[in-house]
Structure 1
Amino acid sequence: MTTDWLHAFFVQHLPVLPVLVPLFTAAALLFLGDSPERLRLQRRIALASAVFGAVLAWRLLTEAAAGSLSVYPLGGWPAPFGIVLVVDRLSALMLALTWTIAVPVLWYATGGWDSHGRYFHALFQFQLMGLSGAFVTGDLFNLFVFFEVLLISSYVLLVHGQGRDRFRAGVHYVVLNLAASALFLIGLAIVYGVTGTLNMADLGLRVAQLDAEQATLLKAGAMVLLVVFGLKAAIVPLYLWLPNTYAAASAPVAALFAIMTKVGVYSIIRVHGVMLGPDAGHAALAAAPWILPLALLTTVLGVLGALAAHSLARLVSYLTVSSVGVILIGVGLFSTEALSAALYYTVHSTLVMAALFLLVELVASQRGKVGDHLQPAAPVAQPVLLGLMTLLGAASAAGLPPLPGFLGKLMVLESAAPSAAHTMVWTVVLGAGFFTLVGLARAGSILFWSVLPDRPGECGAGSSGRLTTATLGLLGVSLLLAVAASPMKRYTDAAAVQLADRNGYAEAVLNATGGADSRTTRPYQAGRGEVRLPTYESAAP
């Protein structure tokens, strides 16, 4: 009887649990205190929470893959009057990606990084809470709220362990994001002033009914939001903060930050790819003249930065920028095929970049004082293992067949064929892949071939099994994308089609019913025509 009740409880409240689990875990960890004697207990609680969160996320992904769209109105207030959480195929995919990365990264951090500063595990859980909330929220204002939750925790995680470089990068990071938060509120105010709502499903219907004058003002607000999301995603010219920030962060923090740029990409997809997509009337495709050119330029400048990098951490940071550019190329083509390719490549690039950030620390720890700087040093203690891991990560990042990076880029190239910009897209994507390979080959030759004779006390003692297995785990999961390319492609195809159907999404969200804090789960169906807009006189729960 008790088991049945627990099962019913988790099923009923499943969409909100990826937000509440890290919140309650963080509170418990803060209550335990931060004494070294309790570090082992904190590690166990944090790891158990991460594994449980991953199970929840994958359960939501399984439901979404079967065609379910879950709507969870907090407090029983129906959309668009109250706070609503929505888990569709895109949300479930990003949730599963976040928690899949979180488990090995946290396992890696328990190898010693969590003891370099205070409250690491609580901050890590708050970061997961913000990320999860951003992906499941159904309105723009709460997207802002969860942005702030993940940013505040990232401010402290960035400087965790202290150090001059981290504080310098942290100051720039905080100042830029505070400015972006102010712009976010301005953009939201404009959108709300024009439409009278910030619920995503409601907005998707209302923007199509605006006249030309109202649509002009709405597009101004949407462009302000594009600046904000562009800063989070690190696109040109708003990417300059990322290389220094990610290179200065500790290895597990930088690996977790690999998913943070995808929050900006996710927001661009939701706002400019869906709500202001081709069916948005006078406001349709407001950012279309900007996204594709900026994406192409981001890809080029990211790979050029990687070629010029003097340390492995900065090289991987610039490759993160370049990968965001490739993703946004798919978004900027504004077709379901291109968006599906972008989603597949998003999963691959996030996993590989997170693994490479962990690998940077493994290599640096075995090169003595030189660290990850690209200059000759003493040979590493594990040349075969680290060399093979570097080769695998480099080949996947560059897009060599048959690895998932190759499949993702091939999907993007194929989806660009009907576009007038297909020549430019092919040139940039293929050129970026080639120069990525050149940059990583250069780094690998310096790290593993241009070595100096052993110097006593300079060469590291070798990586622990905990650190190595965490990195291998992320690389292994990325390889599964190639093995499971067909079902993954079917999922991203379905996600892209679902995103394009604003009426079906609005019907599921605005017509959801249920008691207080309970979800409505229904098989997703394409919109069957016009959806009646809610009247604001009926705002009672």
Structure 2
Amino acid sequence: MWHLITAPILLPFLTALLIMLPPVHYSPMRRRWLSMISSAIQLVLAVLLLLQVQQQGLMHYAVGNWQAPFGIILVADTLSVVMVCLTSFLALGAICYGSAGEDEKGSFFHPLFQFQLMGINGAFLTGDLFNLFVFFEVLLIASYALLIHAGGKNKTKAAVHYVVLNLTGSAIFLFSLAILYGTLGTLNIADMAIKVAALPEEDLMLVKAGGLMLMIVFALKAAVLPLQFWLPATYASASAPVAALFAVMTKIGVYALLRVYSTIFGENAGPLAGMASSWLLPAGLATIALGAVGALASQDFRKLVANLVLVSVGTLVSLVALQTELSAAAALYYTVHSTLVTAALFLIADLIANQRGKAGDRLVSGRRVSQPILLGFIFMVGALTVAGLPPFSGFVGKLMILQSVVEPVNRVLLWSLILLSSLMVIVALSRAGSTLFWRVSGTEPGGGKAPPLQVFAVIWLLLASPLLAVFAGPLTALSQQAAAQLYDTTTSTNSILGQYPVQEIKP
């Protein structure tokens, strides 16, 4: 069962290869069924892996039996496996939506989708920074092509900005890895945690420089202010299933920040402990404010949802900066909630746009939708969830966030900003809903009814919100367990390094 750790990486890789081979490649239906079935199996395997981690604790897998810190190590703890489960759940909804016809608007949609899943899952499961870079590149290459799926001037323009910025980030990533490897002699995360704790004084500034360069890279991936300007246009221009899958992309940057600055530069890192907190907290708070203002100022629904992604990113980065188990547990629960609801809203925006004729999802008067009751209901559920109103998961998530802030100054700042941003989001969504469903011109609908598979995909993603609220007790306990495991660096490093203890660096 140890080989189960490799399944979230190997299965989408093999699926992508099979889809590109005859006879599957020549049949749209075969491509769709194979992709959907593979995504469903990936979800089942991810849940089985989570159950196994719950029973046995942290697990690691040495590729080719080359043990840490020298070999390629995959690490499955509660945090990483929950993120893999989230990705698999999201991917199943997105691929079902795309299989209703969106996939045929461009080439190689399904192989690229599976390659991106491979990169995302690999980024969550890797145990060293160099392979984190490798999986970042895998998912980014796939995302470049998916972004321009179905073509168009807006997609091409957004793709150019996205590619240039991410190539710049990749170059900085390589420089930071070179600095850290040259100083520490390793890029294995567990090994780096030990080396940093025993670092000679003359190497402190060099390692700090490498660590802060990593923070810039991860902040760019997460779209944290002032590196957020690429996100609204990119997400708004992407096709609906691609934008839905992209909802988890920013969370990879947040996950990397949480993993690196809690393990390598955590409380045991001596003078380098918590070195990113003073940068991440103001940046996270500013990102919340910018996202809320952007949601109010948005002129179309897709841009509004993209700005809601910024609000969630700012909230999560602020929690990462607090560097406590309570904040990490709140961040994990809120990550699951915010990823799924924003993905569902991207799909809802596409359904509404397809039924309003030329007006699309622009917040102007347009033709009435063909299914006002269905679309109105799912819009309302999504809006209540993302705004954090009871009885949905957003309320539970924001309650956990508020309870996790202990220091009085941080409590005043974070509480005030989160509550104010929630009010601004409610106003923005109320304005959008009233415009899309009530400001109607003409008597005829602007488009046909949504295909059943697309409706299923939206309901699949929205269904997570009430389930997250109903099972809030065991899920919050799971989040707390993941946070405790994350901050127990002694146990994790001993488990990963095993019988190959690393010699401390002598000053």
Contact 2:334 2:397 in 1 (8 A): yes
**Amino acid across the alignment from 2:342:** M
Q: Tell me what 1:465 maps to.
A: 452
Q: Tell me what 2:268 maps to.
A: 279
Contact 2:391 2:466 in 1 (8 A): no
Query: What are the residue-to-residue correspondences of 1:226-265 with 2, within 5 Å?
Result: 226-265=215-254
Instruction: Tell me, in whole angstroms, the C-alpha distance in 1 between the residues paired with 2:313 and 2:274.
Output: 20
Q: Tell me what 2:419 maps to.
A: 430
State the shift of 1:382 in Å. Answer: 0.8
State the shift of 1:242 in Å. Answer: 0.4
Q: Tell me what 1:497 maps to.
A: 484
Q: Tell me what 2:208 maps to.
A: 219
Contact 1:34 1:119 in 2 (8 A): no
Instruction: Tell me, in whole angstroms, the C-alpha distance in 2 between the residues paired with 1:204 and 1:420.
Output: 30
Instruction: Tell me, in whole angstroms, the C-alpha distance in 2 between the residues paired with 1:67 and 1:298.
Output: 38
State the shift of 1:134 in Å. Answer: 0.4
Are 2:27 and 1:38 equivalent residues in the alignment?
A: yes
Query: What are the residue-to-residue correspondences of 1:171-190 with 2, within 5 Å?
Result: 171-190=160-179
Instruction: Tell me, in whole angstroms, the C-alpha distance in 1 between the residues paired with 2:435 and 2:349.
Output: 14
Change (3 A) 1:305 1:34: farther
**Amino acid across the alignment from 1:85:** L
State the shift of 1:533 in Å. Answer: 1.6
**Amino acid across the alignment from 2:400:** M
Are 2:345 and 1:356 equivalent residues in the alignment?
A: yes
Are 2:18 and 1:28 equivalent residues in the alignment?
A: yes
Q: How many percent of aligned residue pairs carry the same amino acid?
A: 47
Q: Tell me what 1:14 maps to.
A: 4
Instruction: Tell me, in whole angstroms, the C-alpha distance in 2 between the residues paired with 1:438 and 1:205.
Output: 49
State the shift of 1:502 in Å. Answer: 0.9
State the shift of 1:64 in Å. Answer: 2.2
Are 2:474 and 1:484 equivalent residues in the alignment?
A: no
Instruction: Tell me, in whole angstroms, the C-alpha distance in 2 between the residues paired with 1:33 and 1:277.
Output: 51
Instruction: Tell me, in whole angstroms, the C-alpha distance in 2 between the residues paired with 1:502 and 1:419.
Output: 28
CA deviations over 1:353-384 (Å, ceiling 9, x no partner): 11011111000000001100000111111111
Contact 1:378 1:451 in 2 (8 A): yes
CA deviations over 1:303-328 (Å, ceiling 9, x no partner): 11111000000000010011111111
Q: Tell me what 1:149 maps to.
A: 138
SS of residue matched to 2:463: helix
Query: What are the residue-to-residue correspondences of 1:21-420 with 2, within 5 Å?
Result: 21-32=11-22, 37-420=26-409
Instruction: Tell me, in whole angstroms, the C-alpha distance in 2 between the residues paired with 1:500 and 1:300.
Output: 29
The number of equivalent residue pairs is 505
Q: TM-score, normalised by structure 2?
A: 0.97
State the shift of 1:12 in Å. Answer: 3.4
Change (3 A) 1:96 1:419: farther
State the shift of 1:512 in Å. Answer: 6.5
Q: CA RMSD in A?
A: 1.4
Change (3 A) 1:471 1:512: farther
Contact 2:198 2:504 in 1 (8 A): no
Instruction: Tell me, in whole angstroms, the C-alpha distance in 1 between the residues paired with 2:35 and 2:359.
Output: 33
SS of residue matched to 1:198: coil
Contact 2:24 2:30 in 1 (8 A): no
Instruction: Tell me, in whole angstroms, the C-alpha distance in 1 between the residues paired with 2:421 and 2:201.
Output: 40
**Amino acid across the alignment from 1:29:** I
**Amino acid across the alignment from 1:533:** V
Contact 2:267 2:274 in 1 (8 A): yes
**Amino acid across the alignment from 1:18:** P
Contact 1:300 1:432 in 2 (8 A): yes
SS of residue matched to 2:368: coil
**Amino acid across the alignment from 1:19:** I
**Amino acid across the alignment from 1:193:** G
CA deviations over 1:8-43 (Å, ceiling 9, x no partner): xxx2310011101111111111123786x5111111
Instruction: Tell me, in whole angstroms, the C-alpha distance in 2 between the residues paired with 1:32 and 1:283.
Output: 54
Change (3 A) 1:512 1:325: farther
Change (3 A) 1:409 1:67: farther
Instruction: Tell me, in whole angstroms, the C-alpha distance in 1 between the residues paired with 2:237 and 2:352.
Output: 16
SS of residue matched to 1:31: coil
Instruction: Tell me, in whole angstroms, the C-alpha distance in 2 between the residues paired with 1:402 and 1:190.
Output: 49
**Amino acid across the alignment from 1:109:** G
SS of residue matched to 1:389: helix
State the shift of 1:405 in Å. Answer: 0.6
**Amino acid across the alignment from 1:434:** L
State the shift of 1:459 in Å. Answer: 1.1
**Amino acid across the alignment from 1:365:** N
Gaps of 5+ in 1: 1-10, 514-531, 537-541
CA deviations over 1:493-536 (Å, ceiling 9, x no partner): 011111111110001100079xxxxxxxxxxxxxxxxxx42599
Q: TM-score, normalised by structure 1?
A: 0.91
State the shift of 1:124 in Å. Answer: 0.5
SS of residue matched to 1:210: coil
Gaps of 5+ in 2: none
State the shift of 1:191 in Å. Answer: 1.0
- Once the two structures are overlaid, the 10-residue window that deviates more, 37-46 or 88-97, is 37-46
Instruction: Tell me, in whole angstroms, the C-alpha distance in 2 between the residues paired with 1:263 and 1:420.
Output: 28
SS of residue matched to 1:66: helix
**Amino acid across the alignment from 1:250:** S
**Amino acid across the alignment from 1:436:** V
Q: Tell me what 1:516 maps to.
A: none
